[in-house]
Amino acid sequence: MSNPSLLILPGDGIGPEVMAEVVKIIDWYGAKRGMAFDVSEDLVGGAAYDKHGTPLHDDTMAKAQEVDAVLLGAVGGPKYDNLDFSVKPERGLLRLRKEMDLFANLRPAQCFDALADFSSLKRDVVAGLDIMIVRELTSGIYFGEPRGIFTEGNERVGINTQRYTESEIDRVARAAFELARKRGNRVCSMEKANVMESGVLWREVVQKVHDADYPDVELSHMYADAGAMQLCRWPKQFDVIVTDNLFGDLLSDAAAMLTGSLGMLPSASLGLPMANGRPKALYEPVHGSAPDIAGQGKANPIACILSFAMALRYSFDQGAEATRLEKAVEQVLADGLRTADLLGEDGVTPVSTTEMGDAIVAALDASL
Ligand code: NAD
Ligand code: IPM
Ligand code: MN
C-alpha cells in the first residue's frame, strides 16, 4: 500500500517559516513512528502569483484534489494589497476551499495551563478552556452573488451578498452535532436571526436537523453579537459553536486571544469523504502571513504544528499520535519556552521559530 500523501503549500510571509517546523515533525513521524508520508510542495498566494501570475495554478488545484491532505501556511502581504481582486493571494486560498468543497472549518480554542496567565482575560475565565468553533467555509457572504463594485448614478457601490441554502446549513449543522457527541454534547448556533433572513433560515434548519437526528445533543441559539460578548465574558459555557463563514472568521480570531496568542490556533477544513473514505481536507493555522514579523525568526510555529496534529486525527485516524504531538507542545510550554508573541512582562527571553520547533521534536523524542 502506498504512503498517505500530503501537499504542502507554505505560502507567504511567516507561512514558509512555520511550515519548515512542521516538516521537521512530519520527518520525525517517518523516522520514529514508521509513519512515512509522500510529501510534495507547491506554491500558493503571493508566491504563486509572483511565479505564475495567479495565486493558485490549475496544476496545484488538481494536485490538492488528489492528495489525502493539504497543509497550508498562510497567504497575503502588503506587496499584494493593491492587486486586482481576481489575483489577490487570498483568492488562492478561497479557491482551494471552494473547489475542494471544504464546508466544515474546525477551529478549536484550547487554553494550555502554562499560558492561562498570558491571556488578556483573567486566569479563571480561560484556564481549562476547550471549545470548538465550526465555521461554515464555502458559502455565505464570502461567495454570494451579486458581488462587486458597481456604478450607481454618480457614485460607486460595493456589494456582497449573504446567501445560504438549506442544504448548506444542514450539512455544517450535522458536522457540529457529530463533533459535539464526541466532546461535551452541546452545540450553540450563532447567527443574526433578528435582522437577517439568512439567519432565520439558519436557525430553523439547525433546529430541524437537531430535532430529527440529534435530539440527544443539547442545542442553544444565540445572536452572534451576543455570542461575541459571551465568548469574552465566560467562554467555558460553550462546547461546540456552529456559525456562518463571516461570523466564524471573527469569532475564531477573538477566541484565539483566549488561548494567549493567534499563533496558537490551528484549524481543519473538511469536506465530503473521498473514495478512500478520508474526508477532503486542508489544515492551516488560523493566523495570517504576519508581515510585521516575517523574515525575523519570531513567528510562533505552534498553530501550524497543531494543525498537523489535526491532520493526524481527522485524515489519518491517528488520534493517539495527534495527542502525543499536542502533549509535546504542552510540555515545551510547561517548560517555559515562549516565542515572542507569548511574552508577558516577566522578562523571559523569547525563543526563535526554529528553537520552538526543535524543542517540540525533542519533547516528541522524550515521549517514546
Ligand atoms: P495576521 O494573522 O497575519 O497577523 C495579526 C497579528 O498577529 C500580527 O501582529 C502578527 O504578527 C501576529 N501573529 C499572527 N500569527 C502569528 C504567529 N504565528 N506568531 C506570532 N505572531 C503572530 O493578520 P493580518 O495582519 O490581519 O493579515 C496579514 C495578511 O495575512 C493579510 O494579507 C491577510 O489577508 C492574510 N491572512 C491570511 C490568512 C490565511 O492565510 N489563512 C489568515 C488571516 C490573514
Ligand atoms: C482566515 C482568513 C481568511 C478568511 C482570508 C485570508 C481569506 O482570515 O482563514 O481566517 O477570511 O477566511
Ligand atoms: Mn480570519
Helix (H, G, I), strand (E, B) or coil at 133: strand
Model pTM score:
0.97
Give all domains of the chain, ordered by start, each with its CATH number: 1-108+265-368 (3.40.718.10), 130-258 (3.40.718.10)
Q: How far is the CA of 333 from the centre of ligand 1 (A)?
A: 22
For the stretch 83-114, pLDDT in tens is 998 999 999 999 999 999 999 999 999 999 99
The set of cell numbers assigned to 158 is 460595493
For the stretch 224-234, pLDDT in tens is 999 999 999 99
Q: What residue has cell string 467555558?
A: 236
What pLDDT does residue 135 have?
98
> Is there a cis peptide before residue 55, judged by omega within 30 degrees of 0?
no
| Residue 79 annotated in ligand binding | yes
What pLDDT does residue 349 have?
87
**Cβ(328) – ligand 1 distance below 6 Å:** no
- Sheet containing 218-223: give its strands across: 38-41, 5-11, 69-74, 279-283, 268-273, 104-110, 130-136, 240-243, 186-191, 218-223
**Mutation to probe ligand 1, out of 80, 262, 267 (largest number of atoms < 8 A from CB):** 262
| Residue 206 annotated in ligand binding | no
Instruction: Give the number of the ligand closest to the Cα of residue 143.
Output: 2
Q: How far is the CA of 115 from the centre of ligand 3 (A)?
A: 22
Q: How far is the CA of 265 from the centre of ligand 1 (A)?
A: 12
Q: What is the 3-state secondary structure (H, E, C) of 207-253?
A: HHHHHHHCCCCEEEEEEHHHHHHHHHHCHHHCCEEEECHHHHHHHHH
Determine contact, residues 296/339, Cβ cutoff 8 Å.
no
DSSP structural state of residue 79? G
How much is the CA Rg of the chain, to the nearest whole Å?
Answer: 20
What pLDDT does residue 235 have?
97
Ligand 2 atom closest to the CA of 249, numbered from 1: 10
The ipTM, to two decimals, is: 0.98
What pLDDT does residue 117 have?
87
| Residue 288 annotated in ligand binding | yes
Atom 11, ligand 2: residue with shortest CA distance: 249
Atom 7, ligand 2: residue with shortest CA distance: 90
- Among 57, 45, 42, 33, which Cα is nearest to 6's? 42
What pLDDT does residue 346 have?
64
> Active-site residues: which are they?
142, 192, 225, 249, 253
| Residue 74 annotated in ligand binding | no
Intervals of the chain under pLDDT 50 = none
For the stretch 278-336, pLDDT in tens is 999 999 999 999 999 999 999 999 999 999 999 999 999 999 999 999 999 999 999 99
Q: How far is the CA of 363 from the centre of ligand 2 (A)?
A: 31
Write down the H helix ranges in the chain.
Answer: 15-33, 46-52, 58-66, 89-99, 123-126, 166-181, 197-213, 224-233, 245-258, 302-314, 319-334, 353-366
What pLDDT does residue 290 have?
98
- Which are the contacts of 95, defined by CB distance < 8 A and separation ≥ 6? 55, 56, 61
